[in-house]
Structure 1
Amino acid sequence: MNNSVMMKTFCGRANPTTGSLDSVEEGEEYDYHQEIARSCYADMLHDTDRNEKYYQGIRAAVSRVKARGERVVVLDIGTGTGLLSMMAVTAGADYCYSVEVFKPMAEAAACIKKKNGFSDKIKIINKHSTEVTVGPDGDMQEKANILVTELFDTELIGEGALPSYEHAHLHLVQPGCEAVPHRATIYAQVVESEQLWSWAQIQPIQVEERTLLPPAAVTQCAGAPSVCDIQLSQVTPSAFTNLGPLCAMFSVDFSTPVSSTPQSHSCRFVVQSSGRAQVVLSWWDLDMDPSGSIVCSMAPSWTYSDPREYPWRDHWMQSVYFLPAERSVCEGEELSLTVCHDDYSLWYSLSAGEQSDVATPCCTCQAHLLWTRPRFGELNDRRRRESYLSALRSILRPDSVCLSVSDGSLLPIFAHLLGAKKVFSLENSGMAKRVIEQFLEANSLRNGVQLLEIRPDQLTSADVEEEQISVLIGEPYFSTSLLPWHSLCFWYCRTALSRLLRPDATIMPSSATLYVIAVEFQDLWRIRAPCGTCEGFDVSPMDEMVQRSLDFRESREAEPHPLWEYPCRALSQPCSVMTFDFLQCVPEQPISSQGAVQLTGRGRCHGVALWMEYRLTDDITVSMGLTQPASEEGACVWSPHRKQGVYFLREPWESTGDGEASVTYSITFDPSIGDIKMDFSVTQA
């Protein structure tokens, strides 16, 4: 056997659509291609504000070191494409050590530095910075006197910035070194927001004359500890009420030794408006120099006097933190907001007095582990819920034997309250079963719904008390779904349950339709746009690597994105491209569809958005994509509860809006794997 040939291995992974265990190619090469193809490096390179501020800070730091008469040695941790290292050398640095742990990125950085003529002054070190050594035989010949890093995420410290800085100051840089950025400051503001709070807690639900209450274990739970990172600019100021001022919670000086030990910081403030303290909005700034004259801010667009000056970015967004419990506050009241952090995460609490060492929030009710934040919002959506209730009212009868198939759904409880004779619910996990049991017990409905932790293909007549199912329902919602068509898992479940359904059984939803629409993105296109050059440096080798990674796949794929966070304009009418009939079983043969979507809007077509709409009854449909027709200007309003699919064209197309150009499509649903292969391109008439 040729040892130079990379061996491929396969591992079993649950298929999100079929529910089966599939063999998936696994190995170093496959993983690298996946990581590169999915990376959003282009967003960072297209972030002009970020790049300019870093360049200004690096030039200033190099000047300060040279003014002291010292040789300028730079350590760049997390170099990525090597852009910041090239900036440093161009600014006059004598030598730069560039550390990058991800092998493909390190290889790309090596190509980029060579292409730009920096081979003699930049050394790429393919290691984690904590493994780098200094000395005659080490990775670095000498300690650096300028530390340049880009180790930050939306939460600032979530990528391990603090331990990396701590190690660097102990082992890799000189005492009193310059740092770019010089410091970071985290800001926070307490607000009341029904919209945001609906992502954290289930609200009481009215079903006929009955009010369905959330379990006390859920309402009293502090929730999941993970940050909710979003494009806060897309949450309008009318959606929340500021209860206090914007507080500077704490700063980290990166030019001095940094500690990664857990810490807490408090800020006292006077309540500006009475209300319910529920949510903390947070973001941070970077001071690129000691004087604070070069600032890179993550503040949302509505904090700008001119929102057009807002520098859009997706690699850094803003954070939403949910307080452990909502608290009524009165105008003029003095409170203390406390932030705590460990190596990687932050959490907040609010009290009348000083606090310290507030325990890390931990979900004890399991609902916050079962449901994502968008799922909480979906369950709290009154309009959506009324669609399902109206559909259930029209199909349920006093003798209905109902079976629900979704993950952690409240539909079976609704079916019982609406008068079904018997209700069974298949739950895919013990956690889902326990969460729904809590709802049943909290509302004295324990005997109203029988919960079954059984796979659909294993369900027997004995499990449903020898009853034939007359009504099969689903939202459909499955926790493993990422792309819109992954919820076709409901179709596979319906097929597996056919033997238990009455011949005249009602299926809700009865069908699903896949829709597409051609769009121009305001900003999201940046994550896939080639860069070519950035700040005068040629970074095209990275573009080439990403393209090879995309070509590594048999066909191009759609990506899941929550489009409510990413404004776009419709350049065509919505077009239904494929319908899946749930009244029939999943077919054995593939389903294919070809056609064209006429470009009727003027603008730059970056690609298409895809979503599913479910037909509950003849006159009730719920959309997981557009929630209303696009405006005359093409503005789109997307469901905030589900991610839509986005297929980026290889090259943007300038649409004149005269209908002479169309986006042609070829779509094939392969029932054997439950996936959709697709191809889109623009043709001119």
Structure 2
Amino acid sequence: MLPFTPKTLVLILSLRLRACSSRNLLSLALSAATAIRTMSSGPTQRQFQLRLDPLTGNSEWVIIEEDEDDGGEIFKNAQQPILATTSYLDMLNDSRRNRAYREAIDKAITKPCHVLDIGAGTGLLSMMAARAMAIGDSTTCRNSQGMVTACESYLPMVKLMKKVLRLNGLERNIRVINKRSAELKVGVDITSRADVLVSEILDSELLGEGLIPTLQHAHDMLLVENPITVPYRATTYGQLVESTFLWKLHDLHGNEAKASDGIRLVPTGFESILSAKSQQYAFHCDAIENEIKLLSEPFKIFEFDFWKRPDSHGETELLIKATNDGQVQAVVSWWILQLDFEGRIFYSTAPRWINLPMNTGAGDWCDHWKQCVWFVPGKGISISKDEVVHLHAVHNDISISYNLNTQVPRTEVMSYGFKGGDFQLMLSPEKIAIYGDTEWRSSMLTAIKNALNGRVDPLCIVADDSVFLALVIAHLSKTSHVISLFPGLRGKGLQYLQAVADANGFSMDRIEVLEKKKTCLSMQDTHQRKVDLLIGEPFYSGNDGMLPWQNLRLWKERTLLNSVLSEDALIFPCKGILKACAMSLPDLWNSRRCLNKIEDFEHSVINNTLGACGELPNPQEGPYLPYFIWQCGEFMKLSETFPVMEFDFSKQISKTYGKAQVEFAEPGICHGFAFWIDWVMDSENFIVISTGPEKRYWKQGVKLLATPVEVGNQKSRSTSECCQAVMEASFDPSSGDLIVSHFFS
């Protein structure tokens, strides 16, 4: 019997995500397996993980044993997919980061001391510290008083760290503690306060991994007075920009005004009812450099010193002079890390257009750190060159936020763009852009009108979390009855529909939202009526980081609802087509290539577990990774888009197979394949919604090759190039897994 209830474990998860030292736990949650809690049971350490079934939305708790053999079946089968979808590999391949930390640690640690590494990961920084003190060197270690303590909360990572330390002969010289740093106690876990802190607990926003509370506890309880720290300081910077693309990602009211369909997801007077959350979003701004107009010089926002205890709250008022006429629609921000006391070793996440100091130079593309974007509410603020903009910046323990205007005093700026007490339904920026896209809306409305044509008093079920479809059906058909399942939104979806009903000309007595989640419906739930129309976009709230085919949950739910469907019921969309394209993705591939020596420390032992690409002794199939292709650095299509398999929603869910011939249209180096689903909305195949890279609103699934292949078209083919490939695929409805194999010729 488990000592924790699921409710308690969920609370523990929320605390870990708020301030943890493990790498990218949020990504792990989206990957359907997040570390929850470590507990002690005799000599054995256990940790719970939450596994999510993408086709049902159901989850289960799984226990990981710390004393399992690293080569055991549970570790290989359960842990590898989890770790292979995190950013550890990308981070470890960041040579500029690794070199900066090594130089700073070598410079800071000049004599034996106690070093604490918080968020130790694979132990790279711990090993650097041990080497700086010559710990492990047989000629000096006898007289050395040096000690390294590595603190890492995520048990699967601890297991990998121990393998790395063992491979480098340092397993006896670095003490590994599987706890959060906030759980450490001097005299219990560590013998004395540490003289030096080395850490890398930074996200793209800087604070999101719990930097401030971690440093606060460390200075209060774990470090000596005036400790040495690597890094030494971090400074955040920002710049005012205009960008139509960024505007589309948050201003649904402004974009919807261009639509002539009569549907108002954000009616006048309800401008904030459906919006993206007011926060900074990690974003590869280099990918839209040509779509950004700079409206100011870069400006310094906050400075955080690692060597002293930080405050939980900080704010600053800045006066920023406009350098161009334009519409301020976003604040782009980044940070610069000063790793040493003297200020000679730096690392920056600035976009390419920023002229950095000579010793801060830009490095290779990486995904673990990006720039951040803060959306200015509404259409933004109009400014003229040389006009002064007031920006008020505030930080708390885990985030930074902004308010700005050109003239209003601070008391008014603080409430700019918000209505106190108003209900708000928060969706991702990409979903906001989709709902404001006139082409997408037109396609959806046409399909719904065709489906409702000739049907009197139809009963319609919205199977997913689409508030758009529920609203449109009620608006178009005054006699329809709509049941919205809203598996993720639940009551929030109902509140939203109630708020916008009058503005869209329908009565809420024709719409109901089931109060409890059900695996299937009975005739009692449908008021003894058969369902005429079953629809979805498909869209499931919270699934923004999922792979494209995991939205086939709609097919699973259509199957569970089969008993309440009428004989002539329309399923919408009627089918999905898995599409693919061969891609050149050098930046993405290099960010996930196999590890060998990192600053002279061997890491090859963890390549398979982290899903690395490259020449490995025993290559395994790499994971499918969800990415916005257009944000993956350099990329190029090498083949025409081709269909791999079809999913027929008129039938119940079943195993599906497909085979495709890949013809390479362009010569180049193939690093892998991108996959997505085109949703066919009508039986005539006339209305198709593609989730491919072109619209930039959906993530694709990427399958990287173990080894890149040189390819060419028939006309330019050389003896060393492949001009064709065969792809075979299968979909398993019991697990939602997609299995793809390919053969180059």
TM (norm. structure 2) is 0.77
* Aligned: 1:228 with 2:281: yes
8 Å contact kept, 1:188–1:283: yes
Q: For residue 23 of structure 2, what is the aligned residue in structure 1?
A: none
Equivalent AA in structure 2 for residue 49 of structure 1 = R
Query: 1:214-265: per-residue Cα shift (whole Å, max 9, x none)?
Result: 1444526885355421222222342x4444332201111222x222422222
Q: For residue 61 of structure 1, what is the aligned residue in structure 2?
A: 108
Deviates more, 1:100-109 or 1:293-302: 100-109
Q: For residue 403 of structure 1, what is the aligned residue in structure 2?
A: 460
Q: How big is the shift at 1:284? A: 0.6
Within a 5 Å distance, the mapping from 1:403-552 to structure 2 comes to 403-405=460-462, 406-418=464-476, 421-428=479-486, 429-446=490-507, 450-453=511-514, 459=521, 469-479=531-541, 481=543, 482-498=546-562, 501-546=565-610
* Aligned: 1:560 with 2:616: no
8 Å contact kept, 1:518–1:663: no
8 Å contact kept, 1:531–1:540: yes
8 Å contact kept, 1:512–1:580: yes
CA–CA distance in structure 1, aligned partners of residues 626 and 574 of structure 2: 25
Q: For residue 94 of structure 2, what is the aligned residue in structure 1?
A: 47
Identity of aligned residues (%): 27
Alpha-carbon spacing, 1:364–1:616, altered in 2? closer, same or farther (3 Å): farther
Within a 5 Å distance, the mapping from 1:278-297 to structure 2 comes to 278-297=329-348
8 Å contact kept, 1:183–1:252: yes
Number of matched residues?
657
CA–CA distance in structure 1, aligned partners of residues 190 and 413 of structure 2: 39
Alpha-carbon spacing, 1:551–1:359, altered in 2? closer, same or farther (3 Å): farther
Query: 1:604-651: per-residue Cα shift (whole Å, max 9, x none)?
Result: 33322211111123253434433xxxxxxxxxx444222221223333
CA–CA distance in structure 1, aligned partners of residues 49 and 179 of structure 2: 27
Q: For residue 197 of structure 1, what is the aligned residue in structure 2?
A: 247
8 Å contact kept, 1:402–1:423: yes
Q: For residue 176 of structure 2, what is the aligned residue in structure 1?
A: 124
Match of 1:97 among 123, 129, 148: 148
* Aligned: 1:612 with 2:612: no
SS class of match (1:519):
strand
8 Å contact kept, 2:237–2:299: yes
SS class of match (1:111):
helix
Q: For residue 298 of structure 1, what is the aligned residue in structure 2?
A: 349
Q: For residue 339 of structure 1, what is the aligned residue in structure 2?
A: 393
CA–CA distance in structure 2, aligned partners of residues 357 and 219 of structure 1: 17
CA–CA distance in structure 1, aligned partners of residues 698 and 349 of structure 2: 25
> Which sections of structure 2, spanning at least 5 residues, go unmatched?
1-40, 66-73, 135-143
Q: For residue 139 of structure 2, what is the aligned residue in structure 1?
A: none
Q: For residue 30 of structure 2, what is the aligned residue in structure 1?
A: none
CA–CA distance in structure 2, aligned partners of residues 473 and 575 of structure 1: 26
Query: 1:45-84: per-residue Cα shift (whole Å, max 9, x none)?
Result: 211111122222223323xxx4xxx645533322222222
Equivalent AA in structure 1 for residue 106 of structure 2 = R
TM (norm. structure 1) is 0.83
> Which sections of structure 1, spanning at least 5 residues, go unmatched?
627-636
8 Å contact kept, 2:660–2:728: yes
Q: For residue 642 of structure 2, what is the aligned residue in structure 1?
A: 575
Q: How big is the shift at 1:26? A: 4.6
Alpha-carbon spacing, 1:209–1:124, altered in 2? closer, same or farther (3 Å): closer
SS class of match (1:200):
coil
Deviates more, 1:322-331 or 1:351-360: 351-360
Q: For residue 320 of structure 2, what is the aligned residue in structure 1?
A: 269
Alpha-carbon spacing, 1:475–1:127, altered in 2? closer, same or farther (3 Å): closer
8 Å contact kept, 2:622–2:706: no
Query: 1:102-161: per-residue Cα shift (whole Å, max 9, x none)?
Result: 3343343343334334456544343333344456x76245631x3321111111111111
8 Å contact kept, 1:217–1:364: no
Deviates more, 1:443-452 or 1:79-88: 443-452
Q: For residue 622 of structure 1, what is the aligned residue in structure 2?
A: 688
CA–CA distance in structure 2, aligned partners of residues 261 and 314 of structure 1: 28
Equivalent AA in structure 2 for residue 433 of structure 1 = L
Alpha-carbon spacing, 1:473–1:107, altered in 2? closer, same or farther (3 Å): closer
CA–CA distance in structure 2, aligned partners of residues 394 and 124 of structure 1: 63
SS class of match (2:216):
helix
8 Å contact kept, 1:265–1:356: no
Equivalent AA in structure 1 for residue 686 of structure 2 = I
* Aligned: 1:156 with 2:206: yes
CA–CA distance in structure 2, aligned partners of residues 593 and 510 of structure 1: 18
* Aligned: 1:353 with 2:406: no
Equivalent AA in structure 2 for residue 473 of structure 1 = I
Q: How big is the shift at 1:376? A: 1.1
Q: For residue 730 of structure 2, what is the aligned residue in structure 1?
A: 668
SS class of match (1:303):
coil
8 Å contact kept, 1:202–1:219: no
Q: How big is the shift at 1:213? A: 5.6
CA–CA distance in structure 2, aligned partners of residues 224 and 73 of structure 1: 42
RMSD: 4.1
CA–CA distance in structure 1, aligned partners of residues 523 and 166 of structure 2: 69
Q: For residue 139 of structure 1, what is the aligned residue in structure 2?
A: 190
8 Å contact kept, 1:519–1:569: yes
CA–CA distance in structure 1, aligned partners of residues 617 and 484 of structure 2: 40
Equivalent AA in structure 2 for residue 38 of structure 1 = T
Match of 2:262 among 187, 203, 210: 210
Alpha-carbon spacing, 1:176–1:463, altered in 2? closer, same or farther (3 Å): closer
Q: For residue 253 of structure 1, what is the aligned residue in structure 2?
A: 305
* Aligned: 1:173 with 2:223: yes
Q: How big is the shift at 1:678? A: 0.3
Query: 1:280-332: per-residue Cα shift (whole Å, max 9, x none)?
Result: 22111101223433221101223359999553121111212234566534324
CA–CA distance in structure 1, aligned partners of residues 666 and 60 of structure 2: 43
Match of 2:233 among 148, 171, 183: 183
* Aligned: 1:602 with 2:653: no
Alpha-carbon spacing, 1:325–1:219, altered in 2? closer, same or farther (3 Å): same
Q: For residue 87 of structure 1, what is the aligned residue in structure 2?
A: 128
8 Å contact kept, 1:17–1:485: no
CA–CA distance in structure 2, aligned partners of residues 474 and 507 of structure 1: 9
Deviates more, 1:43-52 or 1:499-508: 499-508
Query: 1:381-415: per-residue Cα shift (whole Å, max 9, x none)?
Result: 22222222333344442545362523133134334
8 Å contact kept, 2:578–2:676: yes
Query: 1:178-198: per-residue Cα shift (whole Å, max 9, x none)?
Result: 322211001122334342233
Match of 2:702 among 639, 646, 657: 646
8 Å contact kept, 1:404–1:473: yes
Match of 1:74 among 115, 118, 123: 115
CA–CA distance in structure 2, aligned partners of residues 247 and 258 of structure 1: 24
Alpha-carbon spacing, 1:211–1:494, altered in 2? closer, same or farther (3 Å): closer
Alpha-carbon spacing, 1:609–1:353, altered in 2? closer, same or farther (3 Å): same
Alpha-carbon spacing, 1:246–1:445, altered in 2? closer, same or farther (3 Å): farther
8 Å contact kept, 1:205–1:211: no
Alpha-carbon spacing, 1:123–1:9, altered in 2? closer, same or farther (3 Å): closer
Equivalent AA in structure 2 for residue 317 of structure 1 = K
SS class of match (2:681):
strand
Q: For residue 434 of structure 2, what is the aligned residue in structure 1?
A: 378
Equivalent AA in structure 1 for residue 55 of structure 2 = T
CA–CA distance in structure 2, aligned partners of residues 609 and 5 of structure 1: 45
Match of 1:36 among 78, 83, 86: 83
CA–CA distance in structure 1, aligned partners of residues 323 and 571 of structure 2: 52
Q: For residue 633 of structure 1, what is the aligned residue in structure 2?
A: none
Q: For residue 16 of structure 1, what is the aligned residue in structure 2?
A: 54
Alpha-carbon spacing, 1:415–1:534, altered in 2? closer, same or farther (3 Å): same
SS class of match (2:365):
coil
Equivalent AA in structure 1 for residue 626 of structure 2 = P
CA–CA distance in structure 1, aligned partners of residues 688 and 126 of structure 2: 51
